[in-house]
């Protein structure tokens, strides 16, 4: 059976999935997205992702195309039809189709697109499976808390990483502090065993997976500090890792060509990954309230 | 006859003009655009717009879908088929369609879309036809010299203007200096009769219409300074105006609710508009070299 996509109310063959050229997502990046992991046939951190989706839409005054219940139904139905037990669902909502004009159109129906992809995940990080990271200047706009489809700066950062043989780019603010990865949140473990990741303000995307990792760390009795850390501090860290919906918690073993600690995936990173994996399978999601 | 659009090699009915949901323009804002004015059946500043298009594409390592000659041919043919003697052509080139992944796809054919719209232009600014401007914080990314389709910050700025009953938003950097308008370049005329607009670096889009206005001003013996000006300086200005492909040179008569000078379109702005209009009709475009 051909893989399906969901486009504005219809399940269509992925190859035929199209939107009008005047969809504002195509002309203005006037839309937002989410990526939700499917693990063992269920969505991980679904409530968190939907809460962030609503935050992004609300900040842009784009309306939800339909209720939460219908949205979830369509998400689950697409994953089911595509036989995705492990993988992820990509969901994009734009302001809709209107004759090109910068300001919001008076009458415009939000457009919604969903796709899925199968992917196997493992709770275990193999020896030597840590990722390389390079640092680049963070040149993005000032509202990074909105998960918009305006991702060109991230595309360039990710390509700079690929050009250097690395998996991820850590973006650095003008003061030398890491904001986050091009498609993940950035974490370090200090010499004292404290987890450090940037506070959730407008300078970074509020990570849903990162939130869960923070909670799990707390349950394990590990201290978490929400503050900026510098590239220099990262070079001296005991461990480093990234978090995102599709990477879960992935150890960083090299930053700008320098090994992190002994150059092997850190123990804490691997422990957190295993716990997150187990949590992801439980569907025991905590009630999620988007912070004010 | 139905209005046509040009989409990836074909002239299609505008209503049917579609692109795949995995066009990177839709998922990453990974593309660029130009708007070229059609005046009296010909394109205005065509060479300048094509030079800027190539600059934008080059900075993003997106390849031109075809040669200059073919591109021009298609542009002229679409304007001809749509019977556009006065109006503009919108042209968008993205990196193309590929399975979603931030970094550049290995094999990807650039996608190209063109549309046109009819619009009447006048060399004369009617009494009371000056525009209102509001100032907003410039929250865009750092590579504003690339005319990318990642325009969400501009959309929000333009909507803030509309909410305040204004036509344009002037974006202001953290030091209080105007960068440019959401979809135009910003200019003032000082008490001494000097034209001031921001220098063309990464902080603003290099205006093609603005370049021509600058040249025309020089020919009229008017001094032009390329430097940042503050909002306070704009409030004290003798005149203010915006330049862009579709507004030509349009007088600003109010900034944040305060009248500019006596609140009427300035003489110099009106003169420059008339000269630009006349120049646009001549097709005597200067050889254009993109500055290094």
| Complex ipTM value | 0.96
Q: How big is the A-B interface in CB pairs under 8 Å? A: 147
Contacts of A42 (CB under 8 A, 6+ apart): A281, A283
Q: What is the pLDDT of residue A268?
A: 96
Provide, as residue numbers in chain B, all residues whose Cβ is less than 8 Å from the Cβ of A60.
Answer: 152, 156
Using CB atoms within 10 Å of the CB of residue B180, give its burial: 0 to 12 exposed, 13 to 18 middle, 19+ buried: buried
Report how far residue B136's alpha carbon sits from residue B144's, in angstroms, rounded to the nearest whole number. Answer: 16
In B, minimum Cα distance to A167 occurs at B103
Answer yes or no: same fold for A4-118 and A131-286.
no
* CA atoms of A250 and A244, how far apart (whole Å): 9
Q: What is the pLDDT, as a whole number, of residue A288? A: 56
Residue B1 pLDDT class (50, 70, 90 cuts) = low
Give percent helix, percent strand, percent coil of chain A, each to the nearest 5.
30, 30, 40
User: Tokens standing for B45?
Assistant: 């500043």
State the CB neighbour count (10 A cutoff) for residue A57. Answer: 20
- Minimum CA–CA partner of B146 in chain A: A152
Average pLDDT over residues B212-223: 97
Within A229-291, strands assigned E span 229-230, 239-244, 248-255, 258-259
pLDDT confidence bin for B266, thresholds 50/70/90: very high
Inter-chain contact B149–A33, Cβ cutoff 8 Å?
no
Residue A35 has a pLDDT of 98
Measured in degrees and rounded to the nearest 5, phi and psi for residue A179 equal -90, -65
Question: Shortest CA distance to B203 belongs to which of B224, B228, B231, B183?
Answer: B228
pLDDT of amino acid A2 = 72
Q: What count of Cα atoms within 13 Å lies in the side-chain half-sphere of residue A236?
A: 8
Q: What is the pLDDT of residue A44?
A: 96
Min Cα separation A223/chain B (Å) = 33
How far apart CA B75 and CA B96 sit, in angstroms, is: 20
Choose the mutation target among B18, B26, B132, B161 for the interface with A, i.e. most A CBs under 10 Å.
Answer: B26
Q: Which of B103, B139, B159 sits opposite A141 (nearest CB)?
A: B139
Give the β-pairing of A4-7 and A10-13.
antiparallel
How remote is the C-alpha of A33 from its chain's centroid? 10
Q: What is the biggest distance separating any 2 CA atoms in chain A, rounded to whole angstroms? A: 58
Give the minimum alpha-carbon distance from B101 to chain A in angstroms, rounded to a whole number: 9
CB-based contact A155 B102, cutoff 8 Å: yes
The C-alpha of B150 sits at a distance from chain A's nearest C-alpha, in angstroms, of 5
* Test the A interface: residue of B103, B169, B245 with most A CBs within 10 Å: B103
- Pairwise CB contact (< 8 Å): B27 & A151: yes
Residues of chain B with C-beta less than 8 angstroms from the C-beta of A5: 21
Question: Closest partner residue to B141 among A7, A60, A140, by Cβ?
Answer: A140
| Domain A4-118 coded CATH 3.30.470.10 | yes
Separation between Cα atoms, residue B158 and residue A104, nearest integer Å: 9
CA B98 to chain centre: 29
Q: Is the dihedral of CA A30, A36, A42, A47 positive or negative?
A: negative
Best to test chain B binding among A102, A138, A158, A242 (most B CBs inside 10 Å): A102
Please tell me which residue of chain A has the smallest CA distance to B32: A27
CA nearest to A25, candidates A146, A131, A149: A149
Q: Along the 292 residues of chain A, how does pLDDT read in single tens digits?
A: 579 999 999 999 999 999 999 999 999 999 999 999 999 999 999 999 999 999 999 999 999 999 999 999 999 999 999 999 999 999 999 999 999 999 999 989 999 999 999 999 999 887 668 999 999 999 999 999 999 999 999 999 999 999 999 999 999 999 999 999 999 999 999 999 999 999 999 999 999 999 999 999 999 999 999 999 999 999 999 999 999 999 999 999 999 999 999 999 999 999 999 999 999 998 777 555 555 5
Q: Which member of A18, A149, A154 has the closest CB to residue B19?
A: A18
Dist. CA A225–CA A214, nearest whole Å: 9
Domain ranges of chain B: 4-118, 131-286
Q: What is the pLDDT of residues B136-157, one digit of tens each?
A: 999 999 999 999 999 999 999 9
Predicted confidence (pLDDT) at residue B127 exceeds the cutoff of 70: no
Q: How far is A137 from chain B (nearest CA, A)?
A: 10
Mutate to test the interface with A, among B102, B116, B117, B182 (most CBs of A within 10 A): B102
* Partner-chain residue, chosen from A22, A30, A153, that has the shortest CB–CB distance to B152: A30
What's the pLDDT band for B89 if we cut at 50, 70, 90? very high
* pLDDT the model gives residue A1: 57
Which of B147, B158, B223, B292 is catalytic? The answer is: B147
Instruction: Tell me which residue has tokens 């009008």.
Output: A20
End-to-end CA distance of chain A: 44
The predicted model gives B76-93 an average pLDDT of 97
Q: Name every chain B residue with its beta carbon within 8 A of the beta carbon of A137.
A: 142
A93 in Cβ contact with A57 (< 8 Å)? yes
Q: Per the CB < 8 Å rule, is A102 touching B27?
A: no
* For range B248-277, the mean pLDDT: 96
pLDDT at B215: 96
Select from A19, A24, A157 the Cβ nearest to the Cβ of B19.
Answer: A19
pLDDT of residue A287: 56
Q: Which option is the CATH number for A131-286: 3.20.10.10, 3.40.30.10, 3.40.1050.10, 2.40.30.60?
A: 3.20.10.10
Q: Is B292 one of the annotated active-site residues of the chain? A: no
As a whole number, mean pLDDT of residues B113-120 equals: 97
How confident is the model at residue B49, as a pLDDT? 97
């Amino acid at each position: 059976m051909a893989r399906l996509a969901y486009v504005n109310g219809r399940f269509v063959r992925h190859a035929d999935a199209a939107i009008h050229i005047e969809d504002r997502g195509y002309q203005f990046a006037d839309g937002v997205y989410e990526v939700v992991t499917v693990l063992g046939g269920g969505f991980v951190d679904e409530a968190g992702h939907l809460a962030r989706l609503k935050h992004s839409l609300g900040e842009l005054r784009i309306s939800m195309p339909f209720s939460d219940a219908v949205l979830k139904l369509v998400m689950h139905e697409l994953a089911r039809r595509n036989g995705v037990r492990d993988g992820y669902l990509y969901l994009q909502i734009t302001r809709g189709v209107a004759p090109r004009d910068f300001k919001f159109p008076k009458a415009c129906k939000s457009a919604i697109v969903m796709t899925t992809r199968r992917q196997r995940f493992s709770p275990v990080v193999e020896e030597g499976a840590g990722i390389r990271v390079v640092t680049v200047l963070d040149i993005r706009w000032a509202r990074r808390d909105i998960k918009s489809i305006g991702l060109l700066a991230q595309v360039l950062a990710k390509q700079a990483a690929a050009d250097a043989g690395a998996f991820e780019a850590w973006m650095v603010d003008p003061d030398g502090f890491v904001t986050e990865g091009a498609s993940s949140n950035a974490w370090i473990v200090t010499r004292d065993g404290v987890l450090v990741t940037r506070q959730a303000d407008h300078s970074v995307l509020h990570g849903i997976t990162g939130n869960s990792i923070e909670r799990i760390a707390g349950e394990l009795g590990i201290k978490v500090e929400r503050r900026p850390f510098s590239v220099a501090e990262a070079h001296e860290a005991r461990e480093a890792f990234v978090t995102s919906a599709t990477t879960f918690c992935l150890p960083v073993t090299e930053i700008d060509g320098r090994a992190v600690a002994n150059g092997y995936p850190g123990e804490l990173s691997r422990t957190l990954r295993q716990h997150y994996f187990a949590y992801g399978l439980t569907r025991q999601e905590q009630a999620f309230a988007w912070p004010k």
